[in-house]
Amino acid sequence: MQPRNSAWLDHLIEEAQVNRLSHIDLLLDATGLASPLPVTPAHQLNARLFDNTPEHALSQQGAHLRRISLDDPVQRTAAHALSDALGAGRVLALFSKWPFEPLVAHLRHCTQAHWGKEQHSGLLRFYDPRLFRTCCEALLPNQSAWFHSPAIAWYWRDSAGQPQQWAGQPQRPEDTPSPLPALHLSDSQLFELVAWSEAVRFCDTHALTHRDAGLPSQDALHRHVTSGIRAAQREQVLDSDRDDFLLGWIGQQQQRPLT
């Protein structure tokens, strides 16, 4: 059985205190929840990242940012309960020295991605712990520098319950570009992001687990299926035929001898 999220959060709180931080920030993914997130304790800083964006109508079910004051036992207790209720797949923690409002504005900007000559736009779902690493790996170095500028480090748990970490590139708010540049994605960046999301969808649709493919974790399965999606692209498989192709491709990979 995996340890509860609250045990992981306790470790982060201890680490934050060692590093003389007065708070930690939690990004919470409320997408698809049956009921809204519980109300925050009095005086706790919180924000909905979809407010004042094209997705504002979905703000209640989108990304939420909550700042946990480490010297407030009520906030810590509420954070433990909420973290356990949501589980590892919906909580992304952030160590940051930025004031809350500049941090909200920055992360809100980072949810908005743009691509194509027609200037399409949509969500960059970096706040989903399952997608966070893929989003980070897809960014160009100049994008990564300002994207991670509020962060000392990011923390989450993978699908196997293992703690994960991504280093930030901390800057002071006044040293970050103002206004922030739009997050433009190239075709190759967009493909990697869409492929990972499609891999998650494929596994959910077919109730496919890492054990079915002989892999150590669900994250490893998603990476494996993403490789299959790249293979489908190379072979110009139609979207309507891709699931059948992937099922066959996974079977072929399992039969391939180890070298």
Other C-beta atoms lying within 10 Å of the C-beta of residue 100: 16
pLDDT digits (tens, 9 = 90+) for 32-81: 999 999 999 989 999 999 999 999 999 999 999 999 999 999 999 999 99
pLDDT of residue 259: 34
Domain locations in the chain as residue ranges = 5-184, 188-255
pLDDT of residue 257: 46
* Residues 249, 243: Cα–Cα separation, whole Å: 10
Q: What is the pTM of this model?
A: 0.87
pLDDT of residue 18: 95
pLDDT of residue 202: 93
Which residues of the chain, if any, have pLDDT below 50?
Answer: 257-259
